[in-house]
Amino acid sequence: MIPLDIAIIAKEEELREELHTKLVCTANHGFAPYAQEELRRLFGSVKSTMLIPGEVFVATLQTGPEEAVEAIRLQPPIFLRHLFPVQMEMAGADAEAAIREAAGWLAQQEAVKEARSAAIHVRKTDNSSWAHSPGELREQLQQHLAPLELEFTVQQPEWIISLFATDDIWYAGVSKAEDNLSDWNGGAIRFQREEGQISRAKFKLLEAEQQFSIPFASYRRALDIGAAPGGWTSFLLERGVEVTAVDPAKMHPSLSGHSGLRVIRKNAAEVSFRESEFDLLVCDMSWSPKQMVKLVTGLLYSLQIGGTAVITVKLLTKKPMALIKEIIAQFEEARMQVQGAKQLFHNRDEITLYMIKY
Ligand SMILES: C[S@@+](CC[C@H](N)C(=O)[O-])C[C@H]1O[C@@H](n2cnc3c(N)ncnc32)[C@H](O)[C@@H]1O
């Protein structure tokens, strides 16, 4: 017979094992400390180790995996762009041995055995024991998993197999795309650059459309503040929205004469519109956030109740969390309800706010 107190200690240890989640977390370059802070605010003490400075870290939470995923889903983080749960850690100094171990472990996972399709996301550090490209590592792993007759796909996979290879430890996990916060490897969503594309800024609005599921084609009249050279404007015109573009700077010549476009070459502080003239307001001014809020809230009378606003907020400060809180509070005072706030992959030192007027 095992004495009762020893049995209880063993059980507690088992439970403690369960109440423990390891995540490989990714933020935009330089913003990992804020993603770490978001996790600390959600889960209390968080142990973390940087894997790629300022960008990727592995975090250990004293919470069970399901509870952790649920908490993150209920309070979506702004700076934590992507995560995957670590279910297996391998000694990685010998890359070939680590691949075999990873493949052997994966082949035994129920999710992998029963899955019809999966995506393999591979990333590595610069000094990783895997000296070739992540793509080559993915191919090797795929070859090892060939007997499973699993369809490897990029789009809408049933499961995502993640592998992060450093010089001495390789981290692996199997998860659903929604639990990773993104179905793109590391949350790095890529769009094809189109011929004649006016600006890279367009990618920000494309990404916001996907991230927040914004039905851009359902709007009729948009106000674009700080519109030049016209990446956002061209995106909205493509979605069939009429656009009023305000900017003292010149719009791209390819937009001139577009029947759905009105251009006002003025400072946005000097323009006025009819009440409720627009059902969409977008603003990407790359300007002092406090000035931007003043300017945008001054024009909100022209946005219908129920109308949408998509706005980038430049983080010109060492205290972005406090700044974001202040900016959101000011918009809320102006009857804007925040639906989403996120540092998108295509945002640099800024975040994107998605709001609805009530
Ligand atoms: C980052 S660019 C916008 C890029 C644009 N979203 C695109 O997709 O091409 C910022 C623009 O804001 C404009 N801007 C800055 N302050 C402004 C103001 N007070 N009123 C109107 N436009 C302003 C600048 O002239 C500049 O063209």
Torsion from C-alpha of 244, 246, 250, 256, nearest 10 degrees:
10
pLDDT band at 3 (very low <50, low <70, confident <90, very high): low
Average pLDDT over residues 133-150: 93
Looking at the CA of residue 224, tell me the nearest atom of ligand 1.
6
Q: Which residues line ligand 1 (CB under 6 A)?
A: 198-199, 201-202, 225-232, 246-249, 267-269, 284-287
Substitution candidate for ligand 1 out of 206, 238, 246, 286 with most atoms within 8 A of CB:
286
Residue 319 burial class via C-beta count within 10 angstroms: exposed 0-12, middle 13-18, buried 19 and up: exposed
Of all protein residues, whose CA lies closest to atom 14 belonging to ligand 1? 226
What does the mean pLDDT of the chain come to?
93
Find all residues with CB under 8 Å of 149, minimum gap 6, and list them.
none
Higher model confidence: residue 155 or residue 269?
269
In CATH, which of 3.30.2130.30, 3.90.1310.10, 3.30.70.1140, 3.40.50.720 is domain 18-187? Answer: 3.30.2130.30
**125 CA → ligand 1 middle, Å:** 37
Would the pLDDT of 8 be above 50? no
Would the pLDDT of 5 be above 70? no
**247 CA → ligand 1 middle, Å:** 6
Of all protein residues, whose CA lies closest to atom 11 belonging to ligand 1? 226
Q: Is 72 in a helix, a strand, or coil?
A: helix
Find all residues with CB under 8 Å of 209, minimum gap 6, and list them.
216
**355 CA → ligand 1 middle, Å:** 20
Residue 12 pLDDT: 47
Region of residue 308 (left: phi > 0; alpha: psi -120 to 50; beta: else): beta
Task: Express each pLDDT in 25-37 by its tens digit.
Answer: 999 999 999 999 9
CATH numeric code, 202-357: 3.40.50.150
**237 CA → ligand 1 middle, Å:** 18
Question: Nearest Cα to 346, choosing from 284, 287, 293, 292?
Answer: 284
- Residue positions counted in the chain: 358
Average pLDDT over residues 58-86: 94
**205 CA → ligand 1 middle, Å:** 15
Task: Express each pLDDT in 276-297 by its tens digit.
Answer: 999 999 999 988 999 999 999 9
Q: Tokens standing for 102? A: 């990873």
**271 CA → ligand 1 middle, Å:** 14
Looking at the CA of residue 199, tell me the nearest atom of ligand 1.
9
User: Helix axis angle, 32-43 relative to 65-74, nearest 10°?
Assistant: 110
User: Helix axis angle, 320-333 relative to 32-43, nearest 10°?
Assistant: 70
pLDDT band at 316 (very low <50, low <70, confident <90, very high): confident
Strand order in the sheet with 336-342: 261-264, 242-246, 221-225, 278-283, 303-314, 350-357, 336-342
Would the pLDDT of 4 be above 80? no
Q: Would you kindly state where each structural domain of the chain is located, as residue ranges?
A: 18-187, 202-357
Average pLDDT over residues 184-212: 92
Residue 13 pLDDT: 52
Looking at the CA of residue 282, tell me the nearest atom of ligand 1.
6
Would the pLDDT of 57 be above 50? yes
